[in-house]
Structure 1
Amino acid sequence: MLEKINLEHILFLDIETVPEAENYTDLSPLKQQLFADKTAYQRKEDFTPEEFYERAGIWAEFGKIVCISVGYFRLNGTERQLRLKTFHGEEKDLLIEFKQLLESHFYHPYHLLCAHNGKEFDFPYIARRMIILGIALPNKLQLFGKKPWEIPHLDTLEMWKFGDYKHYTSLKLLTEILHVPSPKDDIDGSEVAKVFYQEKNIDRIITYCEKDVVAIAQIFLRYRQEELLEEDEIKVVG
């Protein structure tokens, strides 16, 4: 089935998120209480809400997107190229730009979005942040009323589960066992907030995010039993 999908019809993507404010104390008293209530089950008695706040970026209600990196294939005979582009800046602006890409280049029914754990994280997170910021959802994120086979989303984690819904495999582990060059050679997800707020180094985060997109595309190629991309087949297009 995967072999029948035209690679040029897939938009591979990854997002990086951080807490909406740098510090827990920057939240309003009401938002602090709501965060405490939301995370009570995960925290138990091991952490206070303030100690747990460094993880706030994983919830769309308490976090924000700082960049979305995408990758798409261009094929020419036997030649292929994965082109990378990253949207960053003010969250509302980058989401509008991402939406414009979907509506101008990836709007046909046969176009698909692909991410690792995208169905549980990236796709709903983007949709929720758009709603919060007053952005109408593009068709590719409109899931209400659609049958499962009508949802235009691919998930490299879901593919690896083979129906085993209690099974989670990280992107890093998959790259290791599938012999894909690992993208985790600098920071990891737990360090993104520090790099964003303290180092103020968005370029470092973008590089990290784009490497994840390359890894997702490489894993997809592995699933199709195709040769991995070489460095000269990967291009950042701005």
Structure 2
Amino acid sequence: MLKRINLEHILFLDIETVPKFENYSSLDDTTKLLWEQKTKYQRKEEFTAEEFYDRAGIWAEFGIIVCISVGYFKIEGDTRNFRVTSFKGEELNILQDFKTLLELHFKKSNHLLCAHNGKEFDFPYIARRMIIHGIDLPSKLNLFGKKPWEIPHLDTLELWKFGDYKTFTSLKLMAHVLGIPSPKDDIDGSQVRDVFYNDGNIDRIATYCEKDTITVAQILLKLRNEPLLVENELKFV
């Protein structure tokens, strides 16, 4: 079934997020209380709410998107290219530009979005941040009233589970066991917050994000038992 999907109809993506504010002290009292309540289970007795704040980017209510990287296939005869680009900078601009891409080039009913753990993280995170900014959801993210088989999302983590709901396999682990070159040769997700706030290096974050996007595409190719992308097939635009 997976092989029946036209690769050119899939938009692969990955997002990078950070806490909305650099420091816990920048939160108002109401937000501090809500953060404490939201993270009580995760923190247990090990961390205070302030000590735990560097992880706030995980939650769309307390974080922001600083980069969305996307990739898509262009196939002409025997030539296969994978084009990659990133939206980065101010979150409002990122979301608006991403929405424009969807509405101009990935709006047909057979177009799909694909990410690793996208159904649990990337797709709902983008949708929530759009709503917070007052942006009307594009059809690919507006799931209200849709039946499960009508949702235009692929999730490489879900595909790897094969019906097993008791496990989580990271992108790095999945790439390793499938023989795909590791995307984590510079920073990892735990360092994005520091690179953003301490170093101000959004380009470094975008490069990391793009590598993850490429890896998601590589995993889907592997699941389809097709040749992996090689360097000269990658086009950064």
**Residue 5 of structure 1: aligned partner:** 5
> How far is the alpha carbon of 1:162 from its aligned partner?
0.5
- 1-side partners of 2:174 and 2:185: how far apart? 15
**Residue 195 of structure 2: aligned partner:** 195
- CA deviations on 1:103-148 (whole Å, 9 max, x unpaired) are 0000000000000000000000000000001100000001011111
- 2-side partners of 1:33 and 1:193: how far apart? 22
SS in structure 2 at match of 1:134: coil
Taking the TM superposition and a 5 Å limit, the aligned residue runs for 1:161-172 are 161-172=161-172
- 1-side partners of 2:74 and 2:49: how far apart? 47
Taking the TM superposition and a 5 Å limit, the aligned residue runs for 1:69-108 are 69-108=69-108
Residue identity opposite 1:174 in structure 2:
M
> How far is the alpha carbon of 1:78 from its aligned partner?
1.2
SS in structure 2 at match of 1:50: coil
**Residue 111 of structure 2: aligned partner:** 111
- 1-side partners of 2:100 and 2:193: how far apart? 27
**Residue 30 of structure 2: aligned partner:** 30
- CA deviations on 1:174-214 (whole Å, 9 max, x unpaired) are 11000001100010000000000000000100000000000
Gaps of 5+ in 1: none
**Residue 130 of structure 2: aligned partner:** 130
TM-score normalized with structure 2 length: 0.99
- 1-side partners of 2:70 and 2:177: how far apart? 24
> How far is the alpha carbon of 1:228 from its aligned partner?
0.4
**Residue 44 of structure 2: aligned partner:** 44
Residue identity opposite 2:145 in structure 1:
G
- 2-side partners of 1:165 and 1:142: how far apart? 25
SS in structure 1 at match of 2:123: helix
What do you get for the CA RMSD once the two structures are aligned?
0.4
- 1-side partners of 2:148 and 2:221: how far apart? 23
* Over 4 Å off, 4+ runs: none
Residue identity opposite 1:196 in structure 2:
F
- 2-side partners of 1:196 and 1:66: how far apart? 8
Taking the TM superposition and a 5 Å limit, the aligned residue runs for 1:45-64 are 45-64=45-64
SS in structure 1 at match of 2:67: strand
> How far is the alpha carbon of 1:155 from its aligned partner?
0.1
- 2-side partners of 1:84 and 1:190: how far apart? 23
SS in structure 2 at match of 1:139: coil
- 2-side partners of 1:235 and 1:49: how far apart? 43
- 1-side partners of 2:223 and 2:63: how far apart? 33
- CA deviations on 1:73-129 (whole Å, 9 max, x unpaired) are 000111100000100111011100000000000000000000000000000000000
- 1-side partners of 2:56 and 2:71: how far apart? 27
- 1-side partners of 2:147 and 2:30: how far apart? 38
Gaps of 5+ in 2: none
- 2-side partners of 1:199 and 1:166: how far apart? 38
Paired residues, what number? Answer: 237
> How far is the alpha carbon of 1:167 from its aligned partner?
1.1
**Residue 236 of structure 1: aligned partner:** 236
**Residue 211 of structure 1: aligned partner:** 211
**Residue 177 of structure 2: aligned partner:** 177
Percent identity between the two aligned chains = 68
- 2-side partners of 1:202 and 1:89: how far apart? 7
